[in-house]
Amino acid sequence: MDELELLKKDWNKNGEQFKQVSENEIYAMLQKSSSSIVKWIFIISIVEFFVLRLMDLSLFYDENLKNKLNQIHIYEIEKTVTIFNILVLLAFIYYFYKNLRNISATSSVNNLMKDIIKTRKIVKYYVWYNLIIAGITGIIVVYFQSKYDANLSILLEKYEYLFVICCALLVMFLIFVFYLFYKLLYGFLLRRLKRNYNELQKIEY
């Protein structure tokens, strides 16, 4: 934002004749910056999708994994959750792409501000969805594993409360790791979008 700050200082030093030019230049810079940020969100979501979903797809071709999941009666559930998850994440990626096109093509400060707000909301929904699906998947796996795995079922019978607490902490830790991952990955980009939005507010009002 150094270039933007220099432009704003020049704007304040000069008269009304330079004001409109400065507004247009600042808007163009903020639009370009916002478009670049959303492009990165789009790219990261695609990379994340292919890396993690390729692991999920091992459900359909890895016979060893399939047999293990069948032993604890969870294969069909995992397959359904995986298909559902892929469809939802593809929808999120589509909306990231749609927002990228909107921000790149918009021609007014007000529309750009609306597109930034919309993008931030969708990213937050995306993060919350991933945290929730990770939690649900973790609970399902732990429940069926402890129910049908002979070794774990013995532990559950002998140390029921301790076992339940440990499983709950494990799931919470998993969610926390995912939270840190998304906070690091998308938090920086969302803060930059928020900063752009604040700068646009100064132009608009």
b vs e for 144-167, b when ≥16 Cβ sit within 10 Å of the residue's Cβ?
bbbeeeeebeeebeeeeeebeeeb
What average pLDDT does this structure show over 89-94? 94
Rounded Cα distance between 92 and 130, Å, is: 11
pLDDT-based confidence at 143, cuts 50/70/90? confident
DSSP code of residue 62: -
Greatest Cα pair distance, the chain, in angstroms, is 81
Which of 3-17, 35-49, 119-133 shows the lowest per-residue confidence on average (mean pLDDT)?
Answer: 3-17
Confidence of residue 144 (pLDDT cuts 50, 70, 90): confident
Report pLDDT for 29: 86
Q: How far apart are CA 167 and CA 174, in angstroms?
A: 11
Q: Residue 83 is encoded by which pair of tokens? A: 């298909």
pLDDT for residue 68:
80
| pLDDT of 12 over the 70 cut | no
- Band of residue 20 on the pLDDT scale cut at 50, 70, 90: low
- In the structure, what pLDDT confidence band is assigned to residue 18 with cuts at 50, 70 and 90? very low
pLDDT for 16 equals 52
* Rounded Cα–Cα distance for residues 70 and 76 (Å): 8
DSSP tag of 20: H
